[in-house]
Amino acid sequence: MKIFPRKNYIIRKSVNLSKETHILASNLDQAILVITLKRPTIYYEFIDRFLITSNAYQIPTTIVFSKSDTYLKEELDEIELLRKIYFNLNINCHLITCHKKKDILKILDLIKNKTTLFSGNSGVGKSTLINYLNPKLNLKTQSVSKSTNKGQHTTTFAQMYDIDKNTRVIDSPGIKGFGLVDMKKNEIYRYFPELLEASKKCRFKNCIHIDEPGCEVKKRLLTGEISSHRYESYINLIHDKKTIR
Ligand SMILES: Nc1nc2c(ncn2[C@@H]2O[C@H](COP(=O)(O)OP(=O)(O)OP(=O)(O)O)[C@@H](O)[C@H]2O)c(=O)[nH]1
Ligand SMILES: [Mg+2]
Ligand SMILES: [Zn+2]
């Protein structure tokens, strides 16, 4: 057996008391974060936690909003809002449904000749999408619970599959919570590119952008240049004791 050196990996801290860290996947070219708005419900902060981790490990990430066939007009507007926030941060977003050939072709194009991790909450449709990418795979899928609006943790371990000779995907179990590993409170903003950029103009070098005078981040938040959703994620992370050293 040949063991290749690990190029990169996505790590997460368990949200239960064991405080274990798990390596989600290694030797990746990119990650696709699959998101649904309502079934299951998305928490915006979850997206940012994922992006911080993939940014820290230098794994290019694309957001795929799935189940587009299920959304009402207001929900499509909400997705458009999110798409704009992330597009401004150079993160591509796609809105797809597994039921449209052209959407599947778009994803096939995105993953061509690469190794791609599919990640996201349980029930967002990772395995379903992979089945459409290669119908021979026939991975197990299961409906989202009507009573809790949550997925049923159908995929139980991460596994790599071939789509064609040079294209591989990793299906992974739905993520429940997402703790961050090894980040100091005063360096978290560095993983938010727009906060990092603004921080260069903060009056104090050690500004953590909460209530310091002359804070450029707070200024840009007021003008809308920095999204309030993103700032809220940042503040929640700062206060998350499980996350922070
Ligand atoms: N309407 C609609 N339903 C979809 C779509 N994609 C997936 N689903 C449904 O969503 C449910 C969950 O799909 P799965 O593929 O099992 O979800 P998963 O992300 O692999 O879930 P875990 O393995 O638990 O992490 C299934 O009932 C799918 O049929 C889509 O594009 N449109
Ligand atoms: Mg699955
Ligand atoms: Zn500041």
Domain positions in the chain are 9-171, 185-238
Per-residue exposure over 205-239, b if at least 16 CB sit within 10 Å of its own CB, e if not: eebbbeeeeebbbbebbeeeebbeebbebbeebbe
Ligand index nearest the alpha carbon of residue 126: 1
| Tens-digit pLDDT profile for residues 219-228 | 999 999 999 9
Ligand index nearest the alpha carbon of residue 218: 3
Note the pLDDT of residue 175: 87
| Tens-digit pLDDT profile for residues 16-71 | 545 555 555 567 899 999 999 988 988 899 999 999 888 888 899 999 999 999 99
Hey, what amino acid is at 116? T
Q: How far apart are CA 24 and CA 114, in angstroms?
A: 17
Which residue among 46, 75, 142 is best mutated to probe the pocket of ligand 1, counting the most ligand atoms within 8 A of its Cβ? 142
- The CA 49 to ligand 1 mean position distance, Å, reads 22
Question: If phi over 0 gives left and psi between -120 and 50 gives alpha, with beta otherwise, what is residue 123?
Answer: left
Contact 178, 53 (CB under 8 A): yes
Ligand 1, atom 4: nearest CA belongs to which residue?
67
In words, the CATH class of domain 185-238 is: mainly alpha
The CATH code for residues 9-171 is 3.40.50.300
Q: Which residues line ligand 1 (CB under 6 A)?
A: 66-67, 69-70, 97-99, 122-128, 141-144, 151-155, 173-174
- The atom number, within ligand 1, closest to the CA of 39 reads 10
- Give the three-state DSSP class for 40: coil
- The atom number, within ligand 1, closest to the CA of 141 reads 16
- Give the three-state DSSP class for 215: coil
Q: Report the run of H or E that residue 192 belongs to, with start and end.
A: none
| Tens-digit pLDDT profile for residues 69-118 | 999 999 999 999 999 999 999 999 999 999 999 999 999 999 999 999 99
Give how far Cα 105 sits from Cα of 62, 92, 96, 110, 172, Å.
Answer: 16, 16, 10, 9, 21
pLDDT-derived band at 15, boundaries 50, 70, 90 = low
